[in-house]
Structure 1
Amino acid sequence: MERWDRVGRGAAYGAALALVPYALIKVSWVAGSLVGVLPAGDGFGLAEWVVLNTVTIGMATIGIALALALVRPWGMRIPGPPVAFCAWVGSGFLVSILPFAVFGALGGGGSGGSGTGGDEPEMPVWEGVLVQFGFVGMGLGLAVAVPAYLRRRWPDAFTGRLGDGPRTARPWAAAVAAAVGLVWLFWAFGGTAGISHPAGRNTDWYALVALSGGWALAAAGAVTMLARARPARLPRGPALVLGWIGSGSLFAWSGWKVPVTLYLARAEPADALPPEHPLAAVALHLCAVLAGAAMLRTLLRTHVSRTHIRATASGSHTGPSVTAP
């Protein structure tokens, strides 16, 4: 077994174990709120709180199953699209947020606030440490385990250079992602257009908005390079990784924030109002979701086209049976 493969397998097991405490804590929150021992989170009624945390329990369960699928033999027998989609969403949720976790650990951030959607109540320090450990551990595990799995299942996915594939027009999704990213960076650097509650901006909010904007621009640039096959001498792998994580971040986080933003706009809780105007926030998140999904399609198409060209050149192509992640 190659060294990289061994490291990837260990990272997958570590990711699954890291997320178990988070899932158990969420279960305790739901059970505790139902029996009246624990309060609901700020801005949420009991029913909304139970539904929200039940959803996160389901997400954690899927994350644990995904991590095991990346290392266990049965993970290679599952059809490729479901595994790739879950890995893409998981990477978008957790790998993209690792810089913020480091920022929180070094600078005292990570306290939640409006930037996180208000899904966590006041908690003991040990619970906060376990929750943070679950996010960071799963994110780091996926960052190593997903490429190792993809390398085993689709060996040529990250090989070659940008000039190896066909050149296509700039994807519209990249332009949309760039526009969304620029708006987020405008807010991160103090812009007030589209901000209805300036007092709600805190250090965490600025960091998260800046990080989201950076990933949006990184994804837009990477997907554009892959589609245009330029500059030709650069390796394809880094552009594919940036496009993968960035598009997943747009889709996953904005897909999560749309219902949360709509709920907060309807309930208008005084202690949990996000800084952004609801219409501006929802519009940006919807554009981000659409752009992220469309960029994933572009990433898969460039892989299929490149595989088709290589197979044809070697004389081994037998029909439209090329499989992509």
Structure 2
Amino acid sequence: MDRWDRVGRVAAYGAALALTPYLLIKVSWVVGSFLGLLPVGTGFGKAEWVVLNSATIGMAGIGIAVALALVLPWGMRIPGAPLAFCAWVGTGFLVPVLPYAVLSSLLGSADGDPKSGNDADPSMPGWEAALVQIGFVGMGLGLAIALPTYVRRRWPDVFAGRLGNGGKGSPRALPWMCVVGAAVSFVWLYWAVGGTAGVAHRGERDLAWYVLSGVLGFWAFVASVATWAVVRGRPARVPRWGPMMLGWLGSGSLFAWSGWKLPFTLYLAVAQPADAALPENLALAAALHLAAVGAGAAMLRALVHTRLVSSNS
């Protein structure tokens, strides 16, 4: 075991350990709401609250299992595709928004308020909010370190070579997913700098919403540029590992965050609770999230296909 493998081992175990308190907190919320010992989150009925937090329990459990798979021997024996997909979603959720998580924690932002798009109860005590943020940051940093070391062991050709070794097609034709990703990025960045077109409830905007819009818009743009570079093989002399990693993170951010926010947006559009609202127009938000999910998935397919073409050439 070399130095990088030892670092990856520590990072993987650290990621699993960091997310464990979040898993236990969510289990306590579900059990507590069933027994009437804990309140239901603002804007939710008991059934919706249980379903939402049960989903996050499943996501946390998968995240812990993925972290352990990156370091334990059985992780090298299980099928690579589902593990890579779960790792892609996990890193897409956590790594791109680490600055947002740190900033929202420092500002005391209410994690999960509908304004910020997260899933926790605005009335949670400060120590729970701190554990939630530590779990997200710890898992994100752990995956960011452990995943490349795992890929290095299992698929050593992923980041090898330069872009010109595997790029195909005409550089004059932009892949459609890059165009869609750039369009989504423009809207989110426009909102982040104070744009009001498409904003239905201006008073619902807070600092956390501006920061998250900016961060996600930035990564959508990065994903579009990086995917175009990998698919087209331009600039030809740039090492492949840089655009591949940026494309992986950015496309995962598009898919994971919009895949999470789309059902929440549709719920608000259908249920129309009086005490919960999003700043943006719900129809526009739903369309943006749907486009982001499709573009992110297509970017991943393009990145994987290009890698396979390169490794077989």
CA distance in 2, matches of 1:209, 1:221: 18
Task: State the AA in 1 paired with 2:291.
Answer: C
Residues 125 and 254 of structure 1, relative CA distance in 2, 3 Å threshold: same
1:323 equivalent in structure 2: none
1:187 equivalent in structure 2: 191
2:96 equivalent in structure 1: 96
2:312 equivalent in structure 1: 308
- Is the counterpart of residue 144 in structure 1 residue 145 in structure 2? yes
CA distance in 1, matches of 2:118, 2:94: 17
Residues 115 and 307 of structure 1, relative CA distance in 2, 3 Å threshold: farther
Q: 5+ residue gaps in structure 1?
A: 310-325
2:82 equivalent in structure 1: 82
Tell me the percent identity: 63
1:250 equivalent in structure 2: 254
Task: State the AA in 1 paired with 2:253.
Answer: S
User: Is the 2:111–2:120 contact (alpha carbons within 8 Å) kept by the matching residues of 1?
Assistant: no
How big is the shift at 1:107? 4.6
User: Is the 1:112–1:204 contact (alpha carbons within 8 Å) kept by the matching residues of 2?
Assistant: no
Residues 181 and 118 of structure 1, relative CA distance in 2, 3 Å threshold: same
Per-residue CA deviation, residues 37-78 of structure 1 (Å, 9 max, x unaligned), is 111111100000001000100110101110010000000001
CA distance in 2, matches of 1:117, 1:100: 12
1:266 equivalent in structure 2: 270
CA distance in 1, matches of 2:65, 2:233: 35
How big is the shift at 1:108? 4.6
2:58 equivalent in structure 1: 58
Per-residue CA deviation, residues 115-153 of structure 1 (Å, 9 max, x unaligned), is 443521111111111111110110000000111101110
What does 1:118-157 correspond to in 2, within 5 Å? 118-121=118-121, 122-157=123-158
TM-score, normalised to structure 2's length? Answer: 0.96
Higher mean C-alpha displacement, 154-163 vs 70-79: 154-163
How big is the shift at 1:109? 4.3
CA distance in 2, matches of 1:168, 1:140: 36
CA distance in 2, matches of 1:133, 1:99: 13
CA distance in 1, matches of 2:83, 2:278: 34
1:322 equivalent in structure 2: none
CA distance in 1, matches of 2:213, 2:113: 13
User: Is the 1:42–1:118 contact (alpha carbons within 8 Å) kept by the matching residues of 2?
Assistant: no
